[in-house]
Structure 1
């Protein structure tokens, strides 16, 4: 039983080509980028020692089984060896936790690097109690795998699994002790994420339906959901989804969400509550603009003040450089937590810039209307200033999107997918900006298609096709 030296843990194609393999699940990043089939990873015991006798193998197996019998734990982020023979349903769970498990960051310093995993505790609890979270996690994983591998059959399986989750959740909502649980609210949120990933014709309407369902449960649950870090994390994820949804659809934020933003007992453990209040104010302004059908002078003034405040606002984060986009450390591209941090910092930067652009859109609409009524009046100078500032912001946002896309493309940790998914938001905002040109729209379609090709995110292709349809590109 001779020792055969230090072997490569990489997959077959990476070993053959002698390229760096990141051991990601279910397929390594190199294989995904090159469009080749990843054959999986070898068992480490088998490649260190050769010609082991059956007795030794049985002994190792008995020991491993005994250790597993002591308790079940999940450590998806650090696991490096998926079984090639594992059922596709299990592979889907691995894929979700490796690629789509977005974490929560609170104001406490201990969560500033790797973030707090609020999904995994609920997943584990529902495994024990046979709740719906493991099944919706599996459905999301199947949908994401179907997009990545170009496998329509997996998308069909994902939808079938999601229908089962809906039935399971419906039964759970009839049980008084479980209706308002972490499990129920998280399932609704993940159902919305599922629709975003599978991206079918009815998905936008379904996504909104599930988000509003989660909001209803959160409202009924009240402040009690903030008694635990897990409940706080789930609500924060829901609030983030709703802010983006309301900014996009110009719908007002629900009143209880605004009330929670003003509750110091809740926000003292939150990340930058002042920033969330600014975003909520912008949501209300855009909703008022949609309801009235025009922008009056008071709305324009409020929007200008909001744009100025957003320009001055800086988060209280170590190493944050004012007025400079956060950059990734190329020497740590293999570190999962470092990538999570860059994704988080990039999201803050991009949301700040896009919010300023959206606020200036309101000012521009008002100023244009005024210049038509009174050419040469003071509104003309306001219009020129707002257009100039929005163009500068648009250029900065496009440059930042290019930078982060390249950074996440080069990153060899599985969290790169979350980063790529987050870049759809700045592309959307640029596509609606008052100062975007035909060249801007062409660039947006190219980047959206690249997001689909590089990160396996179907929504990018849908965005590109929509822009082409309505702009004759």
Structure 2
């Protein structure tokens, strides 16, 4: 195999026209702009290496007699001059894979380097064949490269030592197979390679088997490797899950991880790696509970009181996720009618809103972001953002990749708690026994603009997440590289919330749908496409005048037929969406 250098990544049209291609999927910007049919992209790995085995064989046969005579001469004369040795070494190395038998001795000279090359040639295989698949090592390297952001690694204590090793414990083998499954699944969708999909399914099955073996061992079940494997299996479901069954599988993995956290106890917080893994998983569990309207396990919220996070940013995130956990519990209580008194719900929601505002006040100055406006003719920025132009040409710049993610968690929580306040304030105002103060009525009116402002801010964070603000724009900011998948993963939940605020025909809803489509295809994350499917049919947060009163946007013919909002319909409530589709079809 001969390395031919880095080939052009552009599509066939851009290569023939000798212009720069932005490599967007399913069609690049230049082909879209000129109404050309984009021919797609070549397999970069297969172009970088050419199989020259037959060519080497011909050269070896033609030079066999001269090589033998030269070898005999070298044996008699001893060390050769440097120039002749280097020339002869080049000829022998080029034909070593095909022309030498295992017993052949080759002498390049007396120096240690030549002796090493001689031993290597004796141990080389007779023939080589092109590798069309993805090795485990390549998959692991791809995963580590695309997820290598400080503070997000799940296995920091032993990541550099055990991932590439063969064998090992059940937990170690499980995490290896999980990484290969995730990487293969991502690449199979981005590059549209069917063989990688089969590899991903096989590795996923192997990882499940190894996890079960690890869970059968009391000590192995408590290791970071086993828990990390479960987290990665949930990530696999995010990559491949567009159907409801896959979403349920993601929920099952998260529930299993929650049970593991309970089983591991406080001992998991004795190491930095254990704390990092716990914090990452606790966030996933709480968001899952928030989406499904179920209560958060009490132990997860209790650990927030422990003094285990000395860093300022991590402590701020710990405080915020605790508030979000309280919000998830409130939504669960409302959903199960355990707390059906509007006054009590309103009091609890206002307390959570006050906690969120207090959290916002405690942010340090270096945590802030700046707002910018994109120039109309700046196409380079759009290419760096994978073909997505900022909504209304406005975007934010943040100090690091952690900051916009934390800000978006806050924005989503404010939107959800404001929705609860609006709906229950309207319900309470309709009662004859209780009346709302004028100040509170004014506050409720302002919540509508607050919700829309927060949704727009989520949209303004998208270019930074997707790597558009590179070093040319912000030299001192450690942002994500364009090939990283973390930006897309971090945006899934916030984009869904930002998209569900407005109605289906609103420009912001359409822009969010386009973002999710790009993330789904370019990043290979099918859950983004599942969210896109939901947003194409959801009527929006303020669809019911009966529910929101003056804050509602009345949709003609629908407001009295179907009470529909993020509060009523938990995340991925597909049965309700089908009901909405049926009503919409019958009324058309």
Choose which of 348, 351, 366 in structure 2 pairs with 1:302.
348
Residue 190 of structure 2 corresponds to: 148
Residue 311 of structure 1 corresponds to: 357
1:114-263 pair list within 5 angstroms? 117=156, 120-121=159-160, 123-124=162-163, 127=166, 129-130=168-169, 131-201=173-243, 202-263=245-306
Choose which of 377, 395, 400 in structure 1 pairs with 2:453.
395
1:278 and 2:323 correspond: yes
Shift of 1:395: 3.2
Residue 82 of structure 2 corresponds to: none
Mapped to 2, the partners of 1:137 and 1:61 lie a distance apart of 39
Mapped to 2, the partners of 1:199 and 1:451 lie a distance apart of 14
Residue 562 of structure 2 corresponds to: none
| Stretch deviating more after TM superposition (377-386 or 445-454) | 377-386
Q: Which structure's relative contact order is higher, taking Cα pairs within 8 Å and 6+ residues apart?
A: 1
Mapped to 1, the partners of 2:297 and 2:20 lie a distance apart of 49
Q: Does the CA-based 8 Å contact 1:367-1:380 persist in structure 2?
A: no
Q: Does the CA-based 8 Å contact 2:178-2:232 persist in structure 1?
A: yes
Shift of 1:470: 4.8
Change (3 A) 1:317 1:92: farther
Change (3 A) 1:51 1:321: farther
Shift of 1:319: 2.2
Mapped to 1, the partners of 2:351 and 2:115 lie a distance apart of 67
Mapped to 2, the partners of 1:104 and 1:118 lie a distance apart of 12
Residue 359 of structure 1 corresponds to: 417
1:385 and 2:443 correspond: yes
Q: Does the CA-based 8 Å contact 1:104-1:237 persist in structure 2?
A: no
Mapped to 2, the partners of 1:186 and 1:220 lie a distance apart of 15
- CA deviations over 1:159-203 (Å, ceiling 9, x no partner): 222112111111122223312111111111111111111114321
Q: Does the CA-based 8 Å contact 2:239-2:524 persist in structure 1?
A: no
Unaligned runs of 5+ in 1: 1-7, 22-27, 44-48, 67-83, 106-113, 334-338
Shift of 1:345: 1.3
Residue 404 of structure 2 corresponds to: 346
Mapped to 1, the partners of 2:482 and 2:448 lie a distance apart of 34
Residue 81 of structure 1 corresponds to: none
- CA deviations over 1:96-141 (Å, ceiling 9, x no partner): 2222456526xxxxxxxx9994682585387451521111100001
1:42-61 pair list within 5 angstroms? 53-54=90-91
Change (3 A) 1:326 1:226: farther
Unaligned runs of 5+ in 2: 29-39, 50-85, 97-112, 121-129, 374-380, 385-396, 471-479, 540-580
| Stretch deviating more after TM superposition (461-470 or 183-192) | 461-470
Alpha-carbon RMSD = 4.3
Residue 108 of structure 1 corresponds to: none
Change (3 A) 1:150 1:86: closer
Choose which of 79, 92, 97 in structure 1 pairs with 2:144.
97
Residue 427 of structure 1 corresponds to: 495
1:448 and 2:516 correspond: yes
- CA deviations over 1:376-406 (Å, ceiling 9, x no partner): 9426763553353343342343344244236
- What count of residue pairs does the alignment treat as equivalent? 421
Mapped to 2, the partners of 1:427 and 1:175 lie a distance apart of 40
Q: Does the CA-based 8 Å contact 1:430-1:436 persist in structure 2?
A: no
- Indicate the structure (1 or 2) with the bigger Cα radius of gyration: 2
1:88 and 2:134 correspond: yes
Change (3 A) 1:189 1:406: closer
Q: Does the CA-based 8 Å contact 1:320-1:326 persist in structure 2?
A: no
